[in-house]
Amino acid sequence: MSLKDKTIVVTGGSRGLGLGLVEALVDQGARVAVVARGQAALAAVERRLGVTAIPADVTDEAAAHRILAEVRPDILVLNAGTTPRMGRLDRLSWADFTAPWETDVKAGLYWLQAALRLPLKPGSRVLVVSSGAAVGGSPMSGGYGGAKRMLWFMAGYANRVSEQKDLGIRFQAIVPRQMVAGTGVGDEASTAYARALGIGTEEYLARFGAPMPPRQFGDHVVAVLDDPQYAAGFAFGLKGDTGITILEGETA
């Protein structure tokens, strides 16, 4: 479908992968609202791209319901998350280990519930951004891989609720399959893994093949939204060298 004049909410869209997506959506003529906590970054995106800036904590349940009720988006992209605290398993505290659950999963739950309870209008799409760590794990980032897998599961659970209630809302999972330089998560993780292996960060990142800068990530997500071949799929892997691959087809 054409994204021109579509109303789209992107959480965590003021930096990193989220910002790359916002740039791509604006170039498609979409009306984008960006939800984030960082006031300075949010204001900068608003000035540069002409988006609607909505300052909010994505783990605030009331804010999720209020924003969706006010904006009524055609598309919702759940991208916000915390940078995992890196360290070997035997050196992480419980707070370190569970940080992605307290932010990423909690926010995912509240926003998915808000989309289903409001509900968003029939034909709406909700994209849940997961991670390649949800496929192969991430031994130095505590509960991050599990949290990202849980988000993937939750998108599937939400599809079942939508079907049971005949809401006509489609939930899909977006899975970046590599670390991305220039993002909080990518820089923190690649630095930690490179140090553990005794190699440079650039050498470590090269192991993933061609890079996928945030804007290329955004272009791939736009293709998922715009290209009919992806309309019925459920989970999509994104990489710099292979582009978009369907990891899971339509879910029952």
The reply to whether 230 belongs to the active site is no
158 burial via Cβ count (<10 Å: 0-12, 13-18, 19+)? buried
Name the maximum alpha-carbon separation found in the chain: 53
Question: Which among 58, 49, 52, 53 has a CA at the least distance from the CA of 24?
Answer: 49
- Nearest in space to 21 (alpha carbons), one of 244, 215, 176: 215
User: What is residue 54's three-state secondary structure?
Assistant: strand
Among residues 6, 141, 148, 190, which one is catalytic?
148
Q: Is 130 a catalytic residue?
A: yes
- Pick the catalytic residue from 144, 193, 204, 239: 144
Answer yes or no: 6 catalytic: no
Query: What's the rounded Cα separation, in Å, for the pair 74 and 7?
Result: 5
Q: Is 50 helix (H, G, I), strand (E, B) or coil?
A: coil
Q: Is 5 helix (H, G, I), strand (E, B) or coil?
A: coil
Choose, from 14, 124, 130, 131, the residue flagged as catalytic: 130
Q: Which residues are catalytic?
A: 130, 144, 148
